[in-house]
């Protein structure tokens, strides 16, 4: 912080220097620095310097006459330490002190942060005047107001000569970094393949951009997210802004702002909106990360957002022998509205049209496994449209749920069972039937008309068994006849 008492290079008593004019010109240079970037303390001598630092507009200073307070404190001081007197006056109650002037810093002759005052050199009592400058208002991003400054007239150099006017004052401020926020519009807990995700970045421009030579806003996403460059929309203060250069790839963009076009909008809110599409179903049960950055020559602020997509794994097995996996089963995926999942390009849609050629079809492999990826969290069903060879087609849908980690957990693999068809079609050797099964336990059999008819037909080996029974009966009758005949002979 700048020392805020304005001391003469050689302070003299009021009767040693006579005022050549009635007023003194004071130019206040309000300097601005990034947070924690203020240089070391230096004494404000009233001479012009510190030209290399940028100024801050919009800061208001009030000037009060504190001559009596200053000289009273000086008279009471044992050490006559002017810095100590200044500290006594800082923060004093000014409600009963004479208000002299008020100015707000602005751009003057191309220099920001300037406020000019013309102040009387003498009080009404003929004393050399002493003024206190207090910062009364500042932009919202100013970290803290500058301490009060005390200007004790006259200011002279080491030889006792009055300083050339105007007198230059250099109060300083640090600007804090404005918030940089990122959000997903209408955020959901999960997304399906092809969903568009709308992002919104907001920040507030610093109240002074003079000290900046770089102002960039960028976003870089996981490869699963595809950027639509045409969706990028930049607004400042609610109005469309185009003063930037855009660099874009499939998954990222960078906005390099033109500082000269940006400066007139200092202190206003910047809004960046854009859309990305979930373009891949491979990143299941993991965070799909999207990272935005605000970068200046002083700071780099990072904000991340994540989205997720889900899935489910299945295994097709024999209902009676769970380690016997079944290949070749085919399924459609349905939602709770009885709509079928279809894929168009890299986008999932739902349709009532079961005959749609783009329906997603799941087929069990030689190991019996199959899976679905890229779905939102929720409840779904499988509709079996083809059973494994030699097995009964399920007539009931198979319910399953997609949730966080439902694809990753190995114990989350859902068995889907089929029962062997024990009925052979006559002359073909192929098994048919209508046994209904589900994912956990075989469902109760719901016989159809065809199966009732087939159940009345003789099954394999039935005729042979009947012949053996008849032959056995004939042999038994023959034996009984022989025994009866012998008994009659014995009696005779």
Q: What is the pLDDT of residues 417-466, one digit of tens each?
A: 998 987 644 444 444 444 444 444 333 333 333 333 333 333 333 434 55
Does 117 share its domain with 256?
no
Query: What mean pLDDT is predicted for residues 75-98?
Result: 89
Q: Identify the CATH number of the domain in which residue 166 sits.
A: 2.60.40.10
Residues 84 and 47 in one domain: yes
The Cα–Cα gap between 30 and 175 comes to: 12
Query: Could you tell me if 377 and 348 lie in one domain?
Result: yes
Q: Of 151, 175, 199, which one is at a domain's C-terminal end?
A: 175
Q: With CA atoms as reference, report the closest residue to 253 among 212, 208, 221.
A: 221
- pTM, whole model, 2 decimals? 0.69
CB 58 within 8 A of CB 104: yes
pLDDT at 423: 62
For residue 4, tell me if it sits in a domain: no
pLDDT for the residue numbered 467: 62
Lowest mean pLDDT among 60-74, 153-167, 282-296, 302-316: 153-167
Please indicate, yes or no, whether residues 29 and 64 belong to a single structural domain of this protein: yes
Count how many domains the chain has. 3
Mean pLDDT of 241-263: 97
Q: Is residue 488 part of a domain?
A: no
Q: What is the pLDDT of residue 48?
A: 46
The mean pLDDT value of the chain amounts to 83
pLDDT exceeds 70 at position 20:
no
Domain boundary among 259, 274, 307: 307
Residue 238 predicted with pLDDT over 80: yes
User: What is the sign, positive or negative, of the torsion defined by CA atoms of 442, 446, 448, 451?
Assistant: positive
Q: How confident is the model at residue 45 (pLDDT cuts 50, 70, 90)?
A: very low
Q: Is residue 7 part of a domain?
A: no
Clarify whether residues 233 and 346 are in a common domain. Answer: no
Domain stops at, among 418, 434, 460:
418
* Pairing mode, strands 149-152 and 300-307: unpaired
| Same domain flag for 284 and 392 | no
The answer on pLDDT for 313 being more than 60 is yes
State mean pLDDT over 217-224. 97
pLDDT one-digit tens code per residue, 139-148? 888 888 888 9
Lowest mean pLDDT among 2-11, 48-57, 161-170, 260-269: 2-11
Q: What is the pLDDT of residues 105-131, one digit of tens each?
A: 999 998 889 999 999 999 988 899 999
What does the block give as tokens for 321?
């022998």
Q: Looking at the structure, do residues 350 and 281 belong to the same domain, yes or no?
A: no
Classify residue 108: in a domain, yes or no.
yes
Q: What is the mean pLDDT of residues 388-402?
A: 94
Q: Which residues, in sequence order, are CB contacts of 399 under 8 Å at separation 6+?
A: 379, 380, 381, 439
Provide the pLDDT for residue 445: 36
Res 41: pLDDT? 55
Which pLDDT score is estimated for 450? 35
Instruction: Band the pLDDT of 173: cuts 50, 70, 90.
Output: confident
Residue range of the domain that includes 47: 23-175
Residues 302 and 324 in one domain: no
Residue recorded with tokens 């400042």: 236
58 pLDDT higher than 60: yes
Report the share of the chain in percent with pLDDT over 70: 82
Residue 2: inside a domain: no
Same domain, 191 and 297: yes
Half-sphere exposure of 123 (CA within 13 A, CB side): 19
Beta strands 347-351; 378-386: pairing state: unpaired
Question: Are 366 and 388 contained in the same domain?
Answer: yes
Residue 435 in contact with residue 392, Cβ under 8 Å? yes
- Are 298 and 34 a contacting pair, CB within 8 Å? yes
pLDDT for the residue numbered 374: 97
* HSE-CB of 23 using CA atoms within 13 angstroms: 8
Whether 122 and 41 share a structural domain = yes
Mark whether 267 and 333 lie in a shared domain. Answer: no
* Both tokens assigned to 145: 């107001």
pLDDT over 60 (residue 44) = no
């Amino acid at each position: 912080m700048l020392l805020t008492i304005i001391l003469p290079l050689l302070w003299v008593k009021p009767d040693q220097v006579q005022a050549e004019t009635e007023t003194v010109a004071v130019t206040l240079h309000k300097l601005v620095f990034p947070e924690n970037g203020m240089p070391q303390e230096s004494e404000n001598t009233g001479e012009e310097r510190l030209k290399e630092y940028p100024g801050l507009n919009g800061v208001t200073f009030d000037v009060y006459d504190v001559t009596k307070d200053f000289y009273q404190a000086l008279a009471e001081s044992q050490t006559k330490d002017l810095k100590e007197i200044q500290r006594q006056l800082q923060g004093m109650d000014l409600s009963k002190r004479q208000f002299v002037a008020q100015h707000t810093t602005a751009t003057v002759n191309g220099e920001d942060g300037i406020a000019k005052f013309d102040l009387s050199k003498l009080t009404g009592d003929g004393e050399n005047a002493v003024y206190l400058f207090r910062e009364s208002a500042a932009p919202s991003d100013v970290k803290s107001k500058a301490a009060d400054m005390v200007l004790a007239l006259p200011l002279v150099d080491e030889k006792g000569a009055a300083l050339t006017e105007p007198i230059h004052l250099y109060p300083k401020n640090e600007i804090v970094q404005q918030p940089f926020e990122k959000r997903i519009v209408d955020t959901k807990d999960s997304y399906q393949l092809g969903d568009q995700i709308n992002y919104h970045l907001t920040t507030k421009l610093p109240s002074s951009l003079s000290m900046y030579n770089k102002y960039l806003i960028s976003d870089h996403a996981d490869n699963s997210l595809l950027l639509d460059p045409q969706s990028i929309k930049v607004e400042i203060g609610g109005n469309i802004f185009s003063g930037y250069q855009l660099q874009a790839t499939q998954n990222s963009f960078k906005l390099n702002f033109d500082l000269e076009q940006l400066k007139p909008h200092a202190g206003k809110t910047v809004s960046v909106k854009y859309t990305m599409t979930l373009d891949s179903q491979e990143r299941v049960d993991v965070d799909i990360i999207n990272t935005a950055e605000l970068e200046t020559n002083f700071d780099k602020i990072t904000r991340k957002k994540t989205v997720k997509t889900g899935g489910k794994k299945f295994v097709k097995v024999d209902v009676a022998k769970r380690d016997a996996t079944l290949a070749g089963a085919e399924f459609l995926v349905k939602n709770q509205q009885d709509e079928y999942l279809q894929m168009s390009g890299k986008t999932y849609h739902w349709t009532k049209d079961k005959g749609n050629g783009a329906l997603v079809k799941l087929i069990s492999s030689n190991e019996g496994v199959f899976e679905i990826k890229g779905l939102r969290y929720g409840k779904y069903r499988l509709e079996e449209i083809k059973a494994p060879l030699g097995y009964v087609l399920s007539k009931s849908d198979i319910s399953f749920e997609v949730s966080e980690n439902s694809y990753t957990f190995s114990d989350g693999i859902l068995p889907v069972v089929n029962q062997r068809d024990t009925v052979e079609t006559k002359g073909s050797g192929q098994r048919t039937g209508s046994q209904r099964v589900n994912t956990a336990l075989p469902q109760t059999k719901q016989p159809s008309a065809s199966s009732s008819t087939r159940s009345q037909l003789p099954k394999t080996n039935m005729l042979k068994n009947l012949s053996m029974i008849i032959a056995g009966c004939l042999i038994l009758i023959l034996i009984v006849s022989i025994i009866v005949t012998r008994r009659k002979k014995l009696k005779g």
